[in-house]
């Protein structure tokens, strides 16, 4: 089903090693024991961000409001009271951020396009000035030899479309397809890799089920509608882009996590199976097998019209996998989410500052599942990273040994998965910059670059130095020879 295109090889070939190395204290601070196994020479190294989390400039050049503008300005919705109004001001500071990536030796940048910049009303007239920003960003990336990986939707729906029902309105498949076509028409001559959606199940669960993300809707019926219409939009847009362009690598991005019962009680085992269906297979099964998970077929049946499942099963060129940890689940009759919820972690499990378990082996499990049950698609890890309570910058660097160790362990897992035959092609760290972490606000820092939100000063963390060493195959990282220098 997955077609590996010649494009991938040519995209990688055009990625040049940036001329100047990263002259940072961070490099020295990152020295690690030689414990990361070798990754293939053509492995692609990138960093990931999303529009609302970093761009700021929410009223610049005709951008319309998004559901996250509305949500973050609603008192009580964001834990630290911040908004994405300014965030990292990447809209104005993108050139320096690209320069930083180049100096670190990163080869690819996954970012998202803000639909409300391109179509402020969600449909209709295209706002050329909004697209101009991405034009400038893409040119800056290409000038540094960094491959742009664009994602068309990372949760920032135009508010005007929410007012028309948003993801509950079936018409959104057409709205999204029009927006995707307009965007690719402008950028597709230079951006060759396009993901349709970021984590539809997470958007449906938290934004349309639990209600702690925008647009703040709740309940199972709401979740089901948001799921189906995202799946449909993904397939419809991808097919339209495929028909119009023959030289693009088209895919989508899912959040995948192994789901385990938190106890040995039978009801928790049953809950884990339901949770797995609602988080993972709700997207995987329609995408790869053209059906909804059996447990929920009846819930989806009233929404599914003839042809929908065939449209959703659009052949992908790649699947983006965002991996953070496993889910440990208990039976929870009051939970909207298939009467299941997150439960206690196994004793002794280390966690990040988000309370998320640190379980690198889960990445191997996710990739093995794709290998064994979904035809071993061509995969990029499009997000992986960790939030820790980092110390303040000292002498131009932030020392973040926990993040270094997190990355080291997950890169080892990536190598393990490749050794086991999984078609993993690259790794994008989440995130390039500390940013606006949705309902948590600015207090939760995932960046490999520290951002002082008061001054917008960027300070590289030791973890960026570590990644830079790994990419360049420096002695001491254990990945000797795996850097960009040896790419095809
Ligand atoms: C993912 C989101 C991303 C970021 C990370 C921490 O689910 O895609 O925007 O918030 O979690």
Q: Which residues of the chain have pLDDT under 70?
A: 1-37, 475-488
Cβ–ligand 1 distance for 430 under 6 Å, the answer yes
Q: What is the pLDDT of residue 36?
A: 60
Q: Report d(CA 186, CA 292) in Å as an integer.
A: 35
| Residue among 55, 359, 383, 442 flagged as catalytic | 383
Q: Is the CB of 255 under 6 A from ligand 1?
A: yes
CA–CA distance, 136 with 92 (Å, rounded to integer): 11
Q: What is the pLDDT of residue 102?
A: 97
359 is catalytic: no
Interval 145-166: pLDDT, tens: 999 999 999 999 999 999 999 9
Q: How far is the CA of 142 from the centre of ligand 1 (A)?
A: 25
User: What are the φ and ψ backbone dihedral angles of 261, each rounded to 5 degrees?
Assistant: -65, 140
Atom of ligand 1 nearest to the CA of 446: 6
DSSP letter (8 states) at residue 461? B
Could you tell me the distance, in angstroms and rounded to a whole number, from the CA of residue 475 to the centre of ligand 1? 32
Residue 285 to residue 273: CA distance in whole angstroms: 14
Q: Map residue 261 onto helix, strand or coil.
A: strand
53 C-alpha vs ligand 1 centroid, how far in Å? 9
> Out of 55, 99, 121, 199, which one is annotated catalytic?
199
pLDDT reported for residue 474: 73
Structure tokens given for 454: 């008061």
pLDDT at 314: 86
Residue to mutate (ligand 1; options 49, 212, 322, 356; most atoms within 8 A of CB)? 322
Strand-by-strand arrangement of the 259-261 sheet = 259-261, 327-331, 340-342
Tokens, residue 234: 């993904």
**pLDDT value for 38:** 75
Is the beta carbon of 236 within 6 A of some atom in ligand 1?
no
Give, using CA atoms, the residue closest to atom 10 of ligand 1.
437
Ligand 1: which residue has its CA nearest to atom 9? 50
Establish whether residue 384 lines the binding site of ligand 1, counting it when its CB lies within 6 angstroms of any ligand atom: no
Nearest CA to ligand 1 atom 4: 437
Cα Rg of the chain, angstroms: 21
Whether residue 60 contacts residue 114, with contact meaning beta carbons closer than 8 Å, is answered with no
Largest CA distance in the chain: 62
- Measured between alpha carbons, how far is 306 from 244 in angstroms, rounded to an integer? 24
Task: Give the position, in ligand 1's atom list, of the atom nearest the Cα of 444.
Answer: 6
In sequence order, what are the beta bridge partners of 259?
327
Looking from the CA of residue 202, the nearest atom of ligand 1 is 7
Nearest atom in ligand 1 to the alpha carbon of residue 387 is: 6
What's the distance, CA 370 to chain centroid? 17
Residue-level pLDDT at 22 = 39
Instruction: For residue 242, count other CB atoms closer than 10 A to its CB.
Output: 14
Q: How confident is the prediction for the chain on average, in pLDDT?
A: 91
352 CB under 6 A from ligand 1?
no
pTM confidence score: 0.92
7-485: CATH superfamily? Glycosidases (3.20.20.80)
Q: What are phi and psi of 320, to 5 degrees?
A: -90, 130
Q: How far is the CA of 264 from the centre of ligand 1 (A)?
A: 30
Measured distance CA(167)–CA(433) in Å, rounded = 29
Q: Residue 109: name the closest of 58, 45, 182 by CA.
A: 45
Could you check whether the bond before residue 214 is cis, i.e. omega within 30 degrees of 0? no
Q: Is 267 labeled as catalytic in the residue annotation?
A: no
Local structure of 145: helix, strand or coil? coil
Domain residue spans of the chain? 7-485
Neighbour-count burial of 28, counting CB atoms closer than 10 A to its CB (0-12 exposed, 13-18 middle, 19+ buried): exposed
| Distance (Å) from CA 431 to ligand 1 centroid | 9
Residue 477 pLDDT: 54
């Amino acid at each position: 089903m997955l077609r590996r295109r010649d494009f991938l090889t040519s995209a990688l070939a055009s990625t040049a090693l940036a001329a100047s190395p990263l002259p940072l204290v961070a490099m020295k601070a990152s020295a690690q024991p030689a414990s990361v196994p070798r990754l293939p020479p053509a492995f692609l190294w990138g960093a990931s961000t999303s529009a609302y989390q970093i761009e700021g400039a929410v009223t610049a050049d005709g951008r319309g409001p998004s559901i996250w503008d509305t949500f973050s300005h609603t008192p009580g919705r964001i834990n630290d009271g911040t908004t994405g109004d300014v965030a990292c001001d990447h809209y104005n500071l993108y050139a320096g951020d690209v320069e930083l990536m180049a100096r670190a030796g990163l080869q690819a940048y996954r970012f998202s396009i803000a639909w409300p910049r391109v179509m402020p009303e969600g449909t209709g007239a295209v706002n050329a000035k909004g697209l101009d920003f991405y034009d400038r960003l893409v040119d800056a990336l290409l000038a540094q030899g960094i491959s742009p990986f664009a994602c068309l939707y990372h949760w920032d729906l135009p508010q005007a479309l929410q007012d028309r029902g948003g993801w509950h309105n079936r018409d959104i498949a057409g709205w999204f397809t029009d927006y995707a076509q307009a965007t690719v028409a402008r950028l597709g001559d230079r951006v060759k890799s396009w993901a349709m959606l970021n984590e539809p199940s997470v958007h449906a669960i938290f934004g349309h089920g639990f209600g702690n993300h925008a647009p703040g809707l709740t309940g199972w019926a709401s979740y089901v509608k948001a799921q189906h219409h995202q799946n449909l939009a993904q397939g419809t847009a991808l097919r339209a882009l495929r028909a119009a362009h023959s030289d693009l690598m088209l895919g989508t991005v899912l959040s995948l996590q192994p789901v385990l019962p938190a106890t040995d009680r039978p009801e928790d085992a049953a809950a884990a199976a339901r949770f797995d269906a609602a988080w993972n297979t709700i997207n995987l099964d329609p995408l790869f097998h053209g059906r909804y998970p059996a447990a929920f077929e009846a819930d989806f049946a009233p929404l599914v019209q003839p042809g929908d499942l065939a449209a959703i099963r659009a052949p992908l060129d790649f699947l983006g996998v965002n991996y953070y940890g496993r889910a440990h689940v208990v039976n929870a009759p009051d939970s909207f989410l298939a009467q299941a919820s997150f439960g206690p972690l196994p004793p002794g499990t280390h966690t990040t500052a988000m309370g998320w378990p640190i379980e690198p082996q889960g990445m191997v499990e996710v990739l093995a599942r794709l290998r064994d049950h979904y035809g071993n698609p061509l995969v990029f890890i499009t997000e992986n990273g960790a939030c820790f309570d980092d110390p303040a910058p000292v002498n131009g660097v932030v020392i973040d040994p926990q993040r270094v160790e997190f990355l080291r362990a997950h890169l080892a897992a990536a190598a393990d998965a490749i050794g086991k035959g999984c078609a993993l092609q690259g790794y994008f760290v989440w995130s390039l910059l500390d940013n606006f972490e949705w309902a948590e606000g600015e207090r939760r820092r995932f960046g490999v670059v520290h951002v002082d939100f008061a001054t917008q000063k960027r300070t590289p963390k030791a973890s960026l130095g570590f990644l830079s060493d790994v990419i360049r195959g420096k002695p001491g990282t254990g990945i000797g020879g795996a850097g960009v220098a040896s790419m095809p």
